[in-house]
């Protein structure tokens, strides 16, 4: 995991520090009418003309950040004064908990990134609360009686929701529930400042949950159908055990092993899904911050968001593997 994270951060660091991005960053910090000489002086003064691997090592925190020297006065100056960075050599990087400085919001990255993660964590929690029970219930009901009208109806509904992306369902829900009926608030921006409520949080939660419900339900149904054909299920039925008792006592636990892995893999998807939903509903969480960082060439903030994304993906993969081995005795025996 550490090696994978190192390789991915190196690739992202290379991409965000390409010359066009650096030029755009310098223009955004100076003026559209600035000359090439002015842009070059700004990049040199703020350390962007150092060796690529030196800068990467400084960002990681394994190499000292050297004081920037003003080309005109020759004095050591901090890279960004509004983040209180010292005008001296020091170790300050990811390993020291220093994520850098946001050029868009004029604050240290940690002061913008972690509150945004907290806001997205609240949104993701309610999405999972809605998505997981509903999808498991739909999948179990459809898989219990394969081929029946209930199975076909639920399967069609699941496929329909899975085929509908967030930017489509979000617009539909906003038009129907916020514009036409006037039941719900079409914006979740108030949730950031005024707190979460049913009125301002229902639409973004519905938009994100509706897509994942169909996918998890289909996987649960497939697992349930496979379990219901096993020999021990037939034996229990032949012994006279009621159908509902067979499902609850014997089939359900084994059928939920495979969906557990799928549910854990929804967390990385939620990080990408929140980008669309948070921008659409003006909810200032991780996705909104990521879009703002990318749109304004905020290099340090963009690197911080990328690091969090890589960590979440790798962590959920690890938890998924461990949880699958814990739930499936055959894996532990092997």
pLDDT score of 195: 61
pLDDT greater at residue 14 or residue 253 = 14
Burial of residue 333 (CB within 10 Å: 0-12, 13-18, 19+) is exposed
pLDDT score of 11: 92
Residue 145 is classified by DSSP as T
Q: Which distant-in-sequence residues (6+ apart) come within 8 Å of 311 by Cβ?
A: 5
Average pLDDT over residues 299-307: 90
pLDDT score of 10: 92
- Tell me the Ramachandran region of residue 297: left when phi exceeds 0, alpha when psi lies from -120 to 50, beta otherwise: left
Cα-only R_g, the chain:
25
CATH architecture of 110-327: Orthogonal Bundle (1.10)
Per-residue model confidence as pLDDT tens digits over 140-179: 888 887 888 888 898 898 888 888 888 888 888 888 887 7
Q: Which of 306, 299, 307 is nearest to 43 (CA)?
A: 299
- Percent of the chain past pLDDT 90, that is, above it, reads 4
Strands 107-108 and 101-102 come out as antiparallel
What confidence tier does 70 reach under pLDDT thresholds 50, 70, 90? Answer: low
- pTM of this structure: 0.80
> So where are the chain's domains?
1-105, 110-327
* CB of 170 closer than 8 Å to CB of 251: no
pLDDT score of 14: 93
Q: How far is CA 191 from CA 4, 61, 257, 267, 317, in A?
A: 36, 36, 35, 21, 30
Per-residue model confidence as pLDDT tens digits over 80-99: 777 777 777 778 888 888 88
Residues in a beta bridge with 107: 102
Per-residue model confidence as pLDDT tens digits over 226-244: 888 888 878 887 888 787 7
Would the pLDDT of 208 be above 80? yes
Q: How far is CA 189 from CA 151, 165, 169, 280, 289, in A?
A: 39, 21, 19, 10, 13
* CB of 321 closer than 8 Å to CB of 45: no
DSSP secondary structure, 201-222, as one string: HHHHHHHHHHHHHHHHHHHHHH
Distance CA 172, CA 186 (A): 11
Quote the crossing angle between the two packed helices 266-281 and 166-173, to the nearest 10°: 40
pLDDT score of 187: 60
* CB of 173 closer than 8 Å to CB of 206: yes
Q: How far is CA 310 from CA 160, 286, 316, in A?
A: 30, 14, 10
SS3 31: coil
The overall average pLDDT reported for the chain is 82
pLDDT score of 56: 92
């Amino acid at each position: 995991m550490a090696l994978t994270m190192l390789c991915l951060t190196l690739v992202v660091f290379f991409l965000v520090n390409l010359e066009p991005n650096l030029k755009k960053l310098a223009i955004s910090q100076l003026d559209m009418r600035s000359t090439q000489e002015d842009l070059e002086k700004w990049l040199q003064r703020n350390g962007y003309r150092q060796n690529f691997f030196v800068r990467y090592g400084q960002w990681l925190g394994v190499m000292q950040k050297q004081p920037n020297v003003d080309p005109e006065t020759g004095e050591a100056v901090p890279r960004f004064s509004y983040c209180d960075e010292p005008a001296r050599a020091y170790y300050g990087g990811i390993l020291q908990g220093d994520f850098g400085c946001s050029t868009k919001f004029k604050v240290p990255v940690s002061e913008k990134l972690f509150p945004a993660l907290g806001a997205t964590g609240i949104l993701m929690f309610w999405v999972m609360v809605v998505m997981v029970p509903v999808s498991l219930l739909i999948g179990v009901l459809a898989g219990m009686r394969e081929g029946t009208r209930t199975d076909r109806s639920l399967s069609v509904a699941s496929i329909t929701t899975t085929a509908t992306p967030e930017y489509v369902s979000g617009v539909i829900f906003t038009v129907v529930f916020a514009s036409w009926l006037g039941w719900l608030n079409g914006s979740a921006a108030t949730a950031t400042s005024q707190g979460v409520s049913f009125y301002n949080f229902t639409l973004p939660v519905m938009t994100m949950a509706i897509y994942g419900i169909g996918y998890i339900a289909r996987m649960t149904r497939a697992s349930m159908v496979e379990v219901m054909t096993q020999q021990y299920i037939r034996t229990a039925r032949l012994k006279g055990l009621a159908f509902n008792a067979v499902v609850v006592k014997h089939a359900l636990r084994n059928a939920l092993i495979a969906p557990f892995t799928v549910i854990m893999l929804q967390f990385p998807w939620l990080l990408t899904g929140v980008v669309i939903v948070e921008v659409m509903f003006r909810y200032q969480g991780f996705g909104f911050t990521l879009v703002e960082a990318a749109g304004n060439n905020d290099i340090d903030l963009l690197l911080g968001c990328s690091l969090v994304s890589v960590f979440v993906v790798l962590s959920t993969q690890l938890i998924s593997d461990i949880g699958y081995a814990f739930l499936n005795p055959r894996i532990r025996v092997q």
